[in-house]
Amino acid sequence: MGPPQAPGRAGALGSVEYTWAAVAGVVAVVLLEVLWLRTGIFRTATFWIAYGIVVFFQVLVDGWLTKLSSPIVIYNEDKFTGWRAPFDVPVEDYLFGFALVTLTILVWVRLGRPARDRRPPTGAGSSRTGTGPSPRR
Amino acid sequence: MDLDRFQYLILMALCLVVTLPLEILLGARVWAQPRRLLTAIAIPVAVFVVWDVIAIARDHWTYGPRYVTGWDLGNLPVEELAFFVVIPICGLLTYESVRRILTEWDDVWARLRRLVGLGR
C-alpha cells in the first residue's frame, strides 16, 4: 500500500498502462462481435438503452468504490490518465466496465435462441408457427 | 464486530438485491436459466480475473485494507471475484429487462397484473 507517488509524471503516455489496457479491452470486445460472434446487438436499441442504465448504476457503485475520501480500490495515479469523473471515478473504468458487461451480454445472446425464433418463451401452448423455411418442427 | 471489512462484499450483495426485482417483477428470466447464465458468466470471469491479477501485480491498483476481508486467492481478493460474477449478472438482468419491455411488453404487463392480483 502506501500513497501513490506524486512525482512520476515522466513518460506520460507510455506509463499509463491501465489506460491502454482498458482501450485494448474495448477494441477486443468490439472485434469479437464484428469478426466472430455477429450477434448484431450494437445495432439494437435494447443494447444501448440497457447500457445507458448500466452506466448510471456504475457511477453509483464505482463512485463508492473509488471515492478518494475513503477508497475501497486505490488507483496508482501513475498508471492511468488521472482523469476522474463524476465523483472520483477514473474514466478508464468506463472502458473496463463496457468490456466486462458487453462481453457478458455478447456471450449470453450468442447462447440464446437464434434471432429467427422470436416467439416469447411463455406461449400458451400455441402452435409453433414457423416463419422460416425450415420444415423441422 | 467490524463491518467495515465487509464493505466491498456488502456492496456486491446489494447489487444482487437491487436487481432481483427485474427477475421477479419483470420476468427477466436470467436466474431462471442457470446453465446459460453460468456459461455466459464463466468467460468474462476468466478473462477479467486474469486482467485483474496482472493489473494488481503491475501495481495498477490496490485495495483499502479497511474495507476488504483479506481473504485472497493468490493475489486476488475474493471481493474482486465477487465483482466479476455480480456485475455481469446485473448487466444481463438489465439487458433482458429492457429487451422484454421493448419486445414483449404485453407479456410483461400481463405478468405485472397477475402479480398484483389483477386479471389472470
- Residue B76 near residue B52, CB atoms below 8 Å: yes
Q: Which residue range is the domain that position A73 belongs to?
A: 38-111
Is the C-alpha dihedral spanning B72, B77, B82, B84 positive or negative? negative
- The whole-number pLDDT of residue A59 equals 97
pLDDT at A131 over 70: no
Average per-residue pLDDT in chain A? Answer: 82
- The whole-number pLDDT of residue A117 equals 47
Nearest chain A Cα distance for residue B99, angstroms: 5
Taking only the tens place, the pLDDT of each residue in A2-53 is: 444 444 444 566 789 999 999 999 999 999 999 999 999 999 999 999 999 9
Q: How many domains does chain A have?
A: 1
> Does A81 reside within a domain?
yes
- The whole-number pLDDT of residue A132 equals 42
> Does A117 reside within a domain?
no
What residues of chain B lie within 8 A of the CB of A49, using their CB?
98, 102
pLDDT at A106 over 70: yes
pLDDT at A69 over 60: yes
Extended strands (E) in chain A: 73-75
Size of the A and B interface in Cβ pairs below 8 Å: 110
- Residue B102 near residue B26, CB atoms below 8 Å: no
Whole-number Å distance between alpha carbons of A26 and A93: 11
Do the bridges between strand B61-63 and strand A73-75 make them parallel or antiparallel, or are there none, so unpaired?
A: antiparallel
Whole-number Å distance between alpha carbons of A71 and A45: 35
- The whole-number pLDDT of residue B73 equals 93
- Stretches where chain B sits below pLDDT 50 are none
Whole-number Å distance between alpha carbons of A68 and A83: 13
Q: Map out the domains of chain B as residue ranges.
A: 3-115
Which letter, b or e, does each residue of B39-67 get, where b requires 16 or more Cβ atoms within 10 Å of its Cβ?
ebbeebbebbbebbeebbeeebbbbbeeb
Percent pLDDT > 70 in chain A is 72
Q: Is residue B4 classed exposed, middle or buried when 0-12, 13-18 and 19+ CB atoms within 10 A define those classes? A: middle
Contact at CB, A45 and B102, closer than 8 angstroms: yes
Segment among A49-63, A102-116, B101-115 with least mean pLDDT: A102-116
- The whole-number pLDDT of residue A128 equals 44
What residues of chain A lie within 8 A of the CB of B67, using their CB?
70, 72
Nearest to A73 among B59, B63, B91 (CB): B63
- The whole-number pLDDT of residue A12 equals 62
- The whole-number pLDDT of residue B120 equals 58
Give the position of cell 400455441: A126
- The whole-number pLDDT of residue A126 equals 42
> Does A127 reside within a domain?
no
> Does A102 reside within a domain?
yes
- The whole-number pLDDT of residue A113 equals 61
